[in-house]
Chains A and B, each alone.
Chain A
Amino acid sequence: MRRVGSRRRGARFQRAASALLPTPRCSGNGVDLLVASIAGFGSYLPARVVTSADLAAQLDCTPEWILEVSGIEERRYAAPDEDVVAMGVAAARNCLDRAQCPAADIRLLIVSSASSPQRFPGPAAAIAAQLGLGEIPAIDIPVASAGSLFGLALASHLAASSGPVLVVATEKMSGAISLQPDQRNTAILFGDGAGACLVREGAGLLRIADRELGSDGTFAPDLRLPLAGPVEMNGRSVIMQATRKMPRAILAVLERSGVPPGDVQAFLMHQANQNLMDRVAKSVGAPADRFYSNIRRYGNTSSASMLIAAAEWWSGAALHPGAPVCFAAFGAGFHWGAILAITE
């Protein structure tokens, strides 16, 4: 779908896109010569809606306070017998259907989930089995909130050698929180769900142009899910580091490709907290309405959130060929990063 007046904007984006000459790099960051594109997105949200009013009663706070500090009015909780495998399979099928890609075409599965109920195996092998993917390699990356971004970055490197890569992020965070008043700062944030994207060599929906990833384990204690649970978070540290590291990563990929922040058609971020997204928008110097947000309805679904947001955005997006789109995430580890993609 194109809007009136889009032809001139589309031409400008085309000129910007054609200037993105890939430069070979040795590290996992940056632009490389291998072209990979995202061919589609998918998502799955459980049916049960838990409102902030529902939680406020248990957590000795008010729904107004929850909305003020997080931007969240509702989140979804999976059914007791609905696990990360089931949600991941549902999101993957949604993605493959929307991308019109047979499951038999997939050559590599990458699954991000840090809320699996067992240490090993992670959910990737079971998701691959339930999708009927055969004996393709299925990799788990328990990276928490930045997991789908890291998965997408890996897929963009591997698609040329492996064939089509399906990235799935699936989280049951309702099992990782405690609904006690002294845990309200984390309990209010999280919801359950799954997202997926398909990455292929060559042309597609969004060509992956550049990536910037980082990790700093000195902050590992500041956001973690111990084996005995629940989630432990030093909120001030998370906010302080996220508000620095995410804009830095976003600006790095934009500056390397000569893309002004105001030219980015959509920022598809990990949906951690609306206040955080607003602050990142301000730091980056891009209009806040370019930062797609569904946190009000789904809360923070950890690594699933970026792909759930992308899947929703794709449904209603007016895609101008050549328009830049930027993915970004920050989470436990700390791990963070940004990926620049160009609409094709």
Chain B
Amino acid sequence: MNNQDRIAQILKAVSENPELPGADESLFDGGYLDSFALPEVVGALEKEFGIKIPDSDLNPRKLETINKIEQYVDSHK
């Protein structure tokens, strides 16, 4: 399973919605995730990829889309 698939699994589990937005679409603007889902997503990403995301990196814009999340994870592994 590639990283984007692993990220997709996390997002589907947190949102409880199997219908993901496109990889470049905002996860929030369309209501797929609400603001309180973001901490849960971050926690799941840290656990799944064995990374530690510092508070200073928690700019919601960095985690706005699936592609941006993948870029972040790839750059911090």
For residue B58, CB closer than 8 A to chain A, the reply is yes
30 contacts between A and B (CB under 8 A): A218-B56, A234-B60, A235-B35, A236-B35, A236-B38, A236-B60, A237-B58, A237-B59, A237-B60, A239-B35, A239-B36, A239-B39, A240-B35, A240-B38, A240-B39, A240-B42, A240-B58, A240-B60, A241-B55, A241-B58, A243-B36, A243-B39, A244-B39, A244-B55, A244-B58, A245-B55, A275-B36, A276-B36, A279-B36, A279-B39
**Interface size on A (CB < 8 Å)?**
16
For residue A318, CB closer than 8 A to chain B, the reply is no
For residue A19, CB closer than 8 A to chain B, the reply is no
- The residue in chain A whose Cβ has the minimal distance to the Cβ of B56 is A218
Q: Which residues of A contact B (CB under 8 A)?
A: 69, 216, 218, 234-237, 239-241, 243-245, 275-276, 279
> Bound complex: CA of A245 vs CA of B60, how far in Å?
16
Q: Which residues of B contact A (CB under 8 A)?
A: 28, 34-36, 38-39, 42, 55-56, 58-60
**A217 CB, min distance to chain B CBs, angstroms:** 12
Instruction: Check A236 against B55 for contact (C-beta < 8 Å).
Output: no
> Bound complex: CA of A276 vs CA of B56, how far in Å?
20
> Bound complex: CA of A28 vs CA of B43, how far in Å?
30
Q: Which residues of B contact A234 (CB under 8 A)?
A: 60
**A35 CB, min distance to chain B CBs, angstroms:** 33
